[in-house]
Every structure is written in C-alpha cells, then in structure tokens.
Chains A and B, each alone.
Chain A
C-alpha cells in the first residue's frame, strides 16, 4: 500500500457516519463496500464493488483500474473497435456499479441484440432488474422478486440479496422513523417470500436467520431456519456461525459456544468466528 500511495491518494470513508451520508448519495452508491477510482481532477475512472475476498486479486483489479484497463472508457473503445456480447454485458454491469441505471439498461439491450444463451440472458435479466431499481424502483423490485422466488432459478440468491440490500439501503438513508420502518417491513416481506419459495436453499435460510438475529425478531423461526441451513451445509462455517448467533440471541450460550467452535474447527483462519466466540463467552448480547 505504501507503493500504491506513491501513485494515488488513498481515502476510506465510513458511510454510516452522519457526515458521510450525503457523499454516499452523491456517488449513487448501490452496494457497499465500494471503491471509486478518480483521476486527479476529480473525474471518475472506475469503481470496484464488493468485498475484497482474495486480496491479491482485488489489488490486481485496483491496479488495472488505475492504469485504465477494463474501465468504462476502455471497454467502450474496445466495443467501438469490435462489438461483442461480452463487452456489452461488462458495460451494462459497469454502468450499474456506477449507479447509472438508464445507461446500464441501454447496454443490456445491446447485449441482448447478440442473442445470448440462456445463462447469459439470465445474468442480463439480473442486471436489468437491479438497473431498474434506479430508474423505476417499484418495477425493479417486482422484477427481482420474481427472479428471487422463481423455483429452481440459479440467480434466485443473487436477486434476493440485491433486493434485500436495496431495502437495507433505503432503511439506512431514511429521513424519518416511519420511512425507516417501511423499508424494514418491505425487507422482512422479501425474506418471508423468498424463504417460502426457496425452503431448502441453505443460503437463503442462513441470511434470513442472520437478519432476524440482528434485528432480534422471529427468533424461533430463525432458529429453525438456521438449524435447517446447518443440516444442509454441515461443514459450512457461515451456516454454523449464523446458527450460533441465533442460539446466543435466544440465551442458549452453551449451545452457541459449541456451535461456533465447530465453525472454527472447519475454518481455523476465520477471525470473525473467533471474535464471535469471544463475544459469546463475555455474554454480550448485541442489540
């Protein structure tokens, strides 16, 4: 990072701080975490959405952006030289990441003109739904809900997470308690609809249970969902971590410790599980 700072000024901003909220709106931030790369005079060059995951890969992506590779400008130049489906799809995603729903939708249409296969078309539908959240929120929410609840849909989880994040964002940016409550209720409705439609999807069940634990609501239903998720994915650290969290919120401290120890055994390098265990042992219940 020291060497990177010779090329760029690195600045991190917590969007949960009141003074940062207007900046979040100014940049049309759809998903968090997000990295926005700007040239010295303030023109946006690119943005990277999502968790770092493999840090080495993430840094390569960042460096590519700093050198203008795979940015919107670069992709458009390449598309102008030789148009193809992949470039059009990448541009649809890039504009979506930038919060420019209208441009993203235009590139989805261009991508569709190349007659994509079923899998690519589904991915384009997901981009279309998310982009529509910017241009026509109720319509976008409806599109994503249909994708999230479609039986056997390979993109159900993505659509569900996108919709859930949308209402989470609405709740965070709410300007009144009523508005915040409305967004929270809409999010819970999404969870209920998707859990009903995908009752054997461990990721959906886990997300629902984690949400309930965080909000302190529907804890008995959350326990059932988390237990089922852990049965379906018995060696999955996240599923076990969620079950442990729900057990802890229900006051079952010994169960919570035993469950998180299983998660740690499967994922010995995962620091957050160790922190969770510490929290359980100290008996601090988050509100």
Chain B
C-alpha cells in the first residue's frame, strides 16, 4: 500500500504539471461552501503582489 502511494506521488506531479490551472473563481466563503457541498478538500493559496 505504501509503495503504491509512493508510486502515485512520483507519477502524479508530471501529469499535474502538464495540465492547466483550474482555480476556483470566487470568494473564500464561496470556495469553502463549494468544498463542503462537494465533500472535497480545500486548498487555499495565499500570495502577494511584490
């Protein structure tokens, strides 16, 4: 199981890199509501302008 997960970790980034960036369009509250209703994890990326 652990080996399968490690393989998954090794292979998935390449696939992810090849894909686009499907970022949620909306406010934090809307993203939280979407995560709850879809029973998905929420990944919040905070960045700044500088």
Question: A-side interface residues toward B, CB under 8 Å?
Answer: 1-5, 7-16, 23-24, 27, 29, 32-42, 45, 55-56, 59-60, 62-64, 66-67, 172
The smallest beta-carbon distance between B7 and chain A, in angstroms, is 12
| Contact A13–B28 (Cβ < 8 Å) | yes
The CA of A280 and the CA of B47, in the complex, are separated in Å by 26
| Contact B47–A33 (Cβ < 8 Å) | yes
The CA of A40 and the CA of B38, in the complex, are separated in Å by 8
| Contact B45–A1 (Cβ < 8 Å) | no
Closest to B25 in A: A11
Q: Which residues of A contact B10 (CB under 8 A)?
A: 60
| Contact B46–A62 (Cβ < 8 Å) | no
Question: B-side interface residues toward A, CB under 8 Å?
Answer: 5, 8-10, 12-17, 19-24, 26, 28, 31-32, 34-36, 38-50
| Contact B23–A10 (Cβ < 8 Å) | yes
| Contact A40–B42 (Cβ < 8 Å) | yes
The CA of A36 and the CA of B31, in the complex, are separated in Å by 13
| Contact B44–A38 (Cβ < 8 Å) | yes
| Contact B41–A38 (Cβ < 8 Å) | yes
Which of B9, B40, B43, B46 has a CB less than 8 Å from the CB of A32?
B46
With A37-B44, A40-B35 known, 4 other A-B pairs at CB within 8 A are A3-B12, A32-B48, A34-B45, A59-B12
Which of B12, B23, B44, B48 has a CB less than 8 Å from the CB of A63?
B12
Question: Do A59 and B41 contact each other (CB < 8 Å), given the known contacts A9-B31, A9-B34, A10-B23?
Answer: no
Q: Which residues of B contact A35 (CB under 8 A)?
A: 43-46
| Contact A9–B13 (Cβ < 8 Å) | no
Q: Which residues of A contact B9 (CB under 8 A)?
A: 60, 63-64
Identify the 6 closest CB pairs spanning chains A and B, nearest first: A11-B31, A8-B41, A59-B13, A2-B19, A12-B45, A38-B42
